[in-house]
Structure 1
Amino acid sequence: MSPYSQEVLKYLNLGIESELQAYVFYKKVMEKINDEETLEAVRKLAEDEKHHFLQLEDEYDKSVRSEMWAPYRDIMRKEGLPDIDEHISETHKELLARVDKLKTKREIFEVALELEKEAYELFAGFYEKTDDEEAKKLFQFLMNFEKGHVLTVENMLKNL
């Protein structure tokens, strides 16, 4: 029997998708950044999203033993910031099309801020909806991380 309810598993899935989307975004915008300080900050955000993806995927896999996320998991377990191939990136077509249109660091960080706020709100919503104490701990941890990302990106915007 799964340690999480079907509802919590649904939340985990949505969280996995959110973290993967943010990771793909940061990887793609890294190609558009030409100063080392900004590039390093974005690289750190991408690493965090990768870590969150793996954490959520591990929780999901412990509960369900599903191969649903296996193609992503295998790629994301590689060292550094691995590329996600075109086939997998298809799931994020709209976001990737949006990335192609971004021209300035301000535009990049405005979209990043939107993604980070959405992720925070997503995990905050999950936290409020579940009665599962273990799930609450996980979502609280992720909310705190996303709040940190929001502050990081807001500071980047302020310093432009």
Structure 2
Amino acid sequence: MQPKATDDEQVAEPLTKADFEALARFRFGIRRYLRFSEQTVRSHGLTPQQYQLLLALKGFPGREWATMSELADRLQLRHHSVGELVNRAQAQGLLHRAAHPSDARAVRVELTQPGQSALGRLSALHRDELRRMGTALTVPDWGETPDGAA
């Protein structure tokens, strides 16, 4: 009896040389952007993880704060790792904790004015870099997917 194929082992349409080139170009663009981001935030006294935390807070849909669990999900980190990250950012005055308005078990995490200022400066630099990069981060377009959806 044959073992069942996993999602990664499913029979897929073979890639062409152009497909590999598009994937490599996209991957290079991602890495180039991440390197820019890492160097930029470090030169402004933050770690890349702190910048991601501030951005996740400011960019949280519909409100200006998030819970630790929501941040863990947004950052794809474990809850305790987010707690340590929040502790370090709070010690630097970038954010603070507040009581959750309706759940006594949860804590709101909010940006402080210094956190807002740092995020504003860094995000403007990131936006400008993305503009300079142009189409380097455009997802390759392969047209129709194997399941027939476009």
Q: TM-score range by the shorter chain?
A: 0.3 to 0.5
Q: Which is greater in Rg?
A: 2
Q: Which has the higher strand share?
A: 2
TM-score, L = length of structure 1: 0.33
Query: Which gives a bigger RCO, structure 1 or 2 (Cα 8 Å, sep 6+)?
Result: 1
TM-score, L = length of structure 2: 0.35
